[in-house]
Amino acid sequence: MAQRSRGGTPLTRAPQVNRLNPRKLLLSKWTAAHPLNRERHFLVTELFCDEEGTVLEIELQAVLTRRNERVVWRVLQDKQHWLMGWQ
């Protein structure tokens, strides 16, 4: 069911994103939509901020292997790659 603008033309839908507050990401749980090497569940273990306190990057730790990966926090907003919580 497509939404319509007042002119009657269909509106394009924006890609689905997870709405996030980057300051609340510490110790949050995430599930990879397409796991690699059986690494499905991840935990945010560290936030990397600039001088003003703005979160720039996070460290994700795979629960199964304890492998750490440093990524830009905005990658978690893409629902095609990351799901909130452990599914």
Helix/strand/coil (H/E/C) assignment for every residue in the chain: CCCECCCCCECCCCCCECCCCHHHCCCCEEEEEEEECCEEEEEEEEEEECCCCCEEEEEEEECCCCCEEEEEHHHHHECCCEEECCC
Task: Reduce the DSSP state of residue 75 to 3 states and report it.
Answer: helix
18-66 pLDDT, tens digit each: 788 999 999 999 999 999 999 999 999 999 999 999 999 999 999 999 9
User: pTM score, two decimals?
Assistant: 0.79
Nearest of 85, 47, 39 to residue 64 by alpha carbon: 39
